[in-house]
A and B are shown apart, each in its own frame.
Chain A
Amino acid sequence: AAGVIQSPRHLIKEKRETATLKCYPIPRHDTVYWYQQGPGQDPQFLISFYEKMQSDKGSIPDRFSAQQFSDYHSELNMSSLELGDSALYFCASSSQGQGQGNEQFFGPGTRLTVL
């Protein structure tokens, strides 16, 4: 079965640079969620989109922005990177179709290292 695809899998940036992370949800899933997981930490919710509209916002810094496109893929844009942004960034997707729960299926993550 198709899963959530994230790219790139690994990314190394320097402080104050920008980064763009991409997420391709499971086919026919209409909701995308972004989470940040620091070393030894639990995933922290950043932001979510349903049908291309922002549906919820968590602890996402103002330096970060995200959007969902017409093909339902999503991009997380991160600017003025700081050392503390080094983490695993997960994308999850779910379907809000009739009879569906909100089971969120996670991608493999993008490991961002800021030097």
Chain B
Amino acid sequence: QKEVEQDPGPLSVPEGAIVSLNCTYSNSAFQYFMWYRQYSRKGPELLMYTYSSGNKEDGRFTAQVDKSSKYISLFIRDSQPSDSATYLCAMSVSSGTYKYIFGTGTRLKVLA
């Protein structure tokens, strides 16, 4: 079993919809939680970086972390066709030079 599980999708939604992307994990030592957006054949782009449990909002994006359930979410409000990409969650046990463990990514398609 992978340390980080993520539904691969694809997830298709109409423009303007609220999108919910999720990851579950098994390692309770994870403390830092990230969301990346990756367009086809491009490098992952950091969207959100959060520490421990709670919510963090940045524009149309909201990240939620529930460490008790080992569950994290990314919400995208007012989704746009330009949001169509693969969304990867990533986790780390600490700050510093620690490696990231990634989920497999969820492919999102926002239909105009």
Contacts and interface: CB of A to CB of B under 8 A. Distances in A.
A108 interface: yes
B74 to A, nearest CB: 16
B36 interface: yes
Contacts of A94: 97
A8 interface: no
Interface stretch (A14-22, A42-50, A76-84): A42-50
Contact of A104 (B46, B94, B103): B46
A102 interface: yes
Contact of A106 (B45, B104, B105): B45
A50 B43 CA distance: 21
B99 A33 contact: yes
A31 B92 CA distance: 15
Interface string B89-112: 000101111111111110000000
B51 A101 contact: yes
Given A41-B104, A101-B32, A56 B49 contact: no
A64 interface: no
Nearest to A54: B97
B43 A108 contact: yes
Contacts of B44: 43, 90, 106
Contacts of A103: 34, 46, 49
A43 B95 contact: no
B42 interface: yes
Contacts of A45: 99-101
A1 B71 CA distance: 33
A55 interface: yes
Interface of A: 4, 31, 33, 40-45, 48, 50, 55-56, 58, 88, 90, 94, 96, 101-109, 111
Closest 7 CB pairs of A and B: A42-B102, A45-B99, A106-B43, A55-B97, A102-B95, A50-B97, A108-B43
Given A101-B51, A102-B32, 6 more contacts: A42-B4, A42-B103, A96-B97, A102-B92, A102-B98, A111-B41
